[in-house]
Structure formats: C-alpha cells, structure tokens
Structure 1
C-alpha cells in the first residue's frame, strides 16, 4: 500500500498507483479531497499535456500546488487520467 503523507496526515492511500517518471499517481478516488484546495496554476509537459494543481491544506497549514493532475492527458499519458501525484515535501512511499 502506497501512502502520501504531509503535515502528519495521510492524504492518499492506494495499492493501485501508476508510476510515471518516478512519481506515484494515485486514483482520484483514493485521495482525501478534504485536504485539496483549488489552484489556478497550470504547467505544460510536451508528452503528458497540461497539468493542473491543487494546494494541500492540513490543520491550517497550506502547501501551495503540492498536488498535480492531468485532466486531459495526451494519448501517451492516458494511464494517468483521473490520477493525482504529489511533491513539495509530501512523503510518498
């Protein structure tokens, strides 16, 4: 079971992650949406497409843009549709 933890809380937990470029992408249904806050940040990957972001909010602390996902991934990255990955100090393992 792979878990994503930040600020002492498990944000996501799954045995169905997909690993792309060393990052675990969790099924959206396995991420606790209560800790996700919307973000207007977007970035572009040449082979995955346009990424959107969520900030994490746990016990009053915010980790801006610490979660990302591809709402409409390009065909080469279709396996990460409806999945979320983490960075910026989020412990995944």
Structure 2
C-alpha cells in the first residue's frame, strides 16, 4: 500500500507550491489507459485538494480542444479538452496551461484531468475521489485532512 503522509489542506501555501509526485499516477476511461506516469507534478494550494498535472508524452488518450478558457491568478490562462478513450468521450474533462506564469513554467503543456469525469484515477495504490463541486479539479486521497474547498458555500473563500 502506498504510504502517503498525512497532509492538511489548510496548511498548503498561498501562493501555491509546485512539486514532483513520487507515486505512479494511473487514469482509465472506458477501460482504456488514458495515462500512466511516474513524472507528474502537483499544485498545492490552501484549502484545495492537490491538482495533478501529467506530461503530454505519457497521455495515451485523444485530447480534443474545446471552446472556452479560464484564468487562474497564479498559473494564467487554461484551455480545455474533451478526453476520448475506450470508446467514450468525457466532455471538457482535462485542461492545460500553454504559457503559464513564470512560477509555474514547469506546467507548460502538462495536462490535468477532472477525476470525477474519468472511470478510475489512482495515486500509487490509492483510488482518487474528485474535489467537491464542479469547478475545481483537485484529487482527494485518504491522507488529506482539513476542509477542502469546492462544496456549496466554499467557492469564494
């Protein structure tokens, strides 16, 4: 079993931190492997479950660009993708920063996935559940403590 240390999301920094992920990440959709990598990065931000970003060369699904974008005060402008794998299409299920801010330059081209729109998401041998709500894309693992932003009434903290 993966031994992830206890982490309290309330102690994550603001502005957020960026760090490598030592565990293997695995994502499936429609029974097909979307990605498996030991080269992911994660963003840690106060009151958020970590957001995981995977290198594009380790993504085996088709990513189809969709209309629209969003802006993060820390990372910049994100673009979104439909994820197509295993005969299924998950609409607007992934995002990426083509030209992130200098602090997050290492994320350029890396892709994050909404756990709730995938069939399976794993960090090591721990199954991920999605961050509450429909906007934030953090991945909740059993080692996290503290109140995680995203549920009704928490979006504008």
Fold shared per TM-score above 0.5:
yes
Unaligned runs of 5+ in 2: 1-23, 45-49, 123-157
The residue correspondences of 1:1-93 to structure 2 (distance < 5 A) are: 1-21=24-44, 22-32=50-60, 34-87=61-114, 88-90=116-118, 91-93=120-122
Q: TM-score, normalised by structure 1?
A: 0.86
Count of residue pairs the alignment pairs up: 92
Greater radius of gyration (CA): 2
Moved over 6 A (4+): none
Whether the 8 Å contact between 1:24 and 1:92 is mirrored in structure 2 is: no
Q: Structure 1 or 2: larger strand share?
A: 1
- Structure 1 unaligned regions, length at least 5: none
- TM-score, length-normalised on structure 2? 0.54
CA RMSD, 1 decimal = 1.5
Query: Which is bigger in relative contact order (C-alpha 8 A, separation at least 6)?
Result: 1
